[in-house]
Amino acid sequence: MSNHLFDALTAFIPEPGKVFLETPEGSKLTYRDVLARSAQYAGALQKLGVKPGDRVAVQVEKTPDALMVYLGTIRAGAVFLPLNTAYTPAEVAYFVGDAEPAVFVCDPQKADALAGTAQKEGARLQTLNARGEGTLRDLADTMPEDFTTVAREDEDLAAILYTSGTTGRSKGAMLSHGNLASNSQTMVKVWRFTEDDVLLHALPIFHTHGLFVATNCLMMAGGSMLFLPKFDLDQVLALLPRATAMMGVPTFYTRLLASEAFTKDLVGHFRLFISGSAPLSAEVHRAFLDRTGHAILERYGMTETNMNTSNPYDGDRRPGTVGFPLPGVGLRIADPKTGREVSPGEVGIIEIKGPNVFQGYWRMPEKTSQEFRVDGYFITGDMGRIDEDGYVSIVGRSKDLIISGGFNVYPAEVEALLDELPGVAESAVIGVPHPDFGEAVVAVLAAKPDSVLDEDTVLAPIRDRLAKFKQPKKVHVLEALPRNTMGKIQKNVLRDQFKGDFS
Ligand code: AMP
């Protein structure tokens, strides 16, 4: 029977005994084990009453078993709903109430706090801990190692991923089997993944990057993964010699560069370093190239659309850009107000259409229709431009755009200059309320170790490089910038912290 996503993931298995995944402790899952374990989890979910189309929500640590629950859910014809492990029980209560899963899997330590929520919403509560043990595993262990995978078509839902939602309520992005399978097939091709690849996997698996981009790609290619619970510098340094590729958020690369143990010799054999989920500064790109000889390949995607653009595998990987639209993905830059395409080179909102674009927000038809144009393009909320060679660059989220004295200031432009200054480790440019200008440009910086930054030394070198209205009216220096688990700087936190600067 055909199950669109599972069939695509398992279409190429080099040989059943090949290792698909290995943990730093040396425990291994072969492709044969993957088929058997995912069958057992699919059987366990069915036994718990999960029917096709039902949601299976999980808030569990990253373990091989958690990944097998994902595959088991797909095989049972259900919809996988991973939740960030940092969410508090109160936050989880919202997601479980909104998604009404048939089964909710959590860490045994949180089971007491979450039992009431599960019961209220009619979800069967199951557990799985950081060692992959718990009631769901116990049940799976009693199930047969084969399972008749439930038929699903490409338009059927495979997953709901809640967006990080820095403003307003989090929205559940509905992703179909076709969305996920088609995008991963494209990535395998453009990034040239093969069965010879060993991916160093240090990303969380509650997010699209670690779950779909990394895992689906490697499984489709018949490759292997070194599966780390999280990014641990020493562990990563120890395992790099065994890997051929790594997918990371920019902070992985800055952390590697900060270590003297990260040398060219360690990664001379490497095939590919990929970065995404947040902007990789041109500085870090160059420093990485200098240190290792590898140009990091930066790509751009989001929960709702999977991957949209990528720098080329062959050819110039340009720092500060996210490359070209992927094959089959339509990308245009539009005027946010009129929706009309802007002239070449101008900044506007990035809009996307293609088989990768999600099916809408779960139970939010109005929100969904507001974010699509009538011709089917999804309005991403990212501002960007396309240069004369066709490279796309992102200048910031539209909600981060600063309007000062009636002029638009794109944070990325100012941040790029600040990042070049010798003592600056990282920067965030935000708009805060100002009595005359409406909003004022404010720079928040973190200094490099042993460097001291003050407003004058920061502003002097950029004065004649930036129009006056773009120059920061105030500079704050913090120990480190606040980031979420995917390495994105939380500008909403900074705007809140500095909202009183001019009042
Ligand atoms: P998420 O849905 O959590 O994956 O976040 C998606 C958002 O991350 C996008 O809409 C962009 O704002 C941002 N993003 C992803 N990749 C990049 C990138 N390479 N450069 C800049 N921003 C990025």
Kindly state if the Cβ of 492 falls inside 6 Å of ligand 1.
no
| Half-sphere CA count of 281, side-chain side, radius 13 A | 25
Within 10 A of 291 (CB to CB), how many other CB atoms are there?
Answer: 14
156 pLDDT exceeds 80? yes
**Which band of pLDDT confidence, cut at 50, 70 and 90, is reported for residue 384?**
very high
Lowest mean pLDDT of 13-17, 353-357, 487-491, name the range. Answer: 487-491
Give the pairing type, strands 172-176 and 224-227. Answer: unpaired
Within 10 A of 433 (CB to CB), how many other CB atoms are there?
Answer: 15
pLDDT value for 12: 97
Task: Find the mean pLDDT for residues 468-487.
Answer: 92
Residue 307 Cα to ligand 1 midpoint, Å, equals 10
Task: Find the mean pLDDT for residues 430-448.
Answer: 94
pLDDT value for 407: 84
CA nearest 214: which of 238, 197, 235, 236?
A: 197
CA dihedral 406, 410, 416, 421 (to 10 degrees): 30
Edge to edge, the sheet with strand 79-82 lists 124-127, 103-106, 55-59, 79-82, 157-162, 172-176
Query: Distance between CA 152 and CA 1 in Å, rounded?
Result: 9
**H or E element in which residue 31 lies:** helix 31-47
Kindly state if the Cβ of 296 falls inside 6 Å of ligand 1.
no
1 pLDDT exceeds 70? no
pLDDT value for 485: 82
Query: Cα 182 vs. chain centroid, distance in angstroms?
Result: 18
Residue 411 Cα to ligand 1 midpoint, Å, equals 15
Task: Find the mean pLDDT for residues 28-42.
Answer: 98
Residue 248 Cα to ligand 1 midpoint, Å, equals 13
Kindly state if the Cβ of 311 falls inside 6 Å of ligand 1.
no
Q: Which two tokens stand for residue 227?
A: 């599966």
443-459 residues labelled b (16+ CB within 10 A) or e (exposed): bbbbbeeeeebeeeebb
Q: Which atom of ligand 1 is nearest to the CA of 381?
A: 10
Task: Find the mean pLDDT for residues 298-308.
Answer: 97
Amino acid at 295: A
Q: Which two tokens stand for residue 458?
A: 């920061």
Among residues of the chain, what percentage have pLDDT more than 90? 90
Within 10 A of 13 (CB to CB), how many other CB atoms are there?
Answer: 17
Query: Distance between CA 207 and CA 147 in Å, rounded?
Result: 27
**Which band of pLDDT confidence, cut at 50, 70 and 90, is reported for residue 209?**
very high
* Arithmetic mean of pLDDT over the chain: 95
Secondary structure (DSSP) of 177-221? HHHHHHHHHHHHHHTT--TT-EEEE-S-SSSHIIIIIIIIHHHHH
Residue 95 Cα to ligand 1 midpoint, Å, equals 22
pLDDT value for 168: 62
Query: Distance between CA 215 and CA 32 in Å, rounded?
Result: 16
Between residues 163 and 390, the one the model is more confident about: 390
**Which band of pLDDT confidence, cut at 50, 70 and 90, is reported for residue 487?**
confident
Query: Distance between CA 462 and CA 366 in Å, rounded?
Result: 44
Residue 325 makes CB contacts below 8 A (sequence gap 6+) with 308, 309, 331, 392
List the Cα angle 320/200/138 in 5-degree steps.
Answer: 130
**H or E element in which residue 20 lies:** strand 19-22
Angle, helices 282-292/250-257, rounded to nearest 10 degrees = 50
Kindly state if the Cβ of 208 falls inside 6 Å of ligand 1.
yes
Q: 279-289, pLDDT tens digit by residue?
A: 999 999 999 99
Rg (CA), the chain: 23
Residue 49 Cα to ligand 1 midpoint, Å, equals 36
318 pLDDT exceeds 80? yes
**Which band of pLDDT confidence, cut at 50, 70 and 90, is reported for residue 480?**
very high
pLDDT value for 3: 98
pLDDT value for 170: 86
pLDDT value for 464: 87
Amino acid at 448: K
Task: Find the mean pLDDT for residues 235-261.
Answer: 96
Kindly state if the Cβ of 212 falls inside 6 Å of ligand 1.
no
Residue 278 Cα to ligand 1 midpoint, Å, equals 5
Identify whether the C-beta of residue 248 lies closer than 8 Å to the C-beta of residue 458.
no
Alpha helices (runs of H) in 122-176, residue ranges in sequence order: 135-141
First to last CA, the chain: 65
Kindly state if the Cβ of 279 falls inside 6 Å of ligand 1.
yes
Residue 460 makes CB contacts below 8 A (sequence gap 6+) with none
191 pLDDT exceeds 60? yes
Q: Which two tokens stand for residue 471?
A: 């120059």
Residue 344 gets which letter from DSSP?
Answer: T
pLDDT value for 165: 58
With H, G, I as helix, E, B as strand and everything else as coil, classify residue 483.
strand
332 pLDDT exceeds 90? yes
Kindly state if the Cβ of 210 falls inside 6 Å of ligand 1.
no
Residue 247 Cα to ligand 1 midpoint, Å, equals 14
Instruction: Please count the helices (runs of H) and the strands (runs of E) in the chain.
Output: 17, 24
Kindly state if the Cβ of 395 falls inside 6 Å of ligand 1.
no
pLDDT value for 362: 97
396 bridge partner residues: 383
Kindly state if the Cβ of 486 falls inside 6 Å of ligand 1.
yes
Residue from 394, 410, 490, 491 whose mutation best tests the ligand 1 pocket (most atoms within 8 A of CB): 394
Q: 161-185, pLDDT tens digit by residue?
A: 998 655 567 899 999 999 999 999 9
Q: 220-233, pLDDT tens digit by residue?
A: 999 999 999 999 99
Q: 79-109, pLDDT tens digit by residue?
A: 999 999 988 898 899 999 999 999 999 999 9
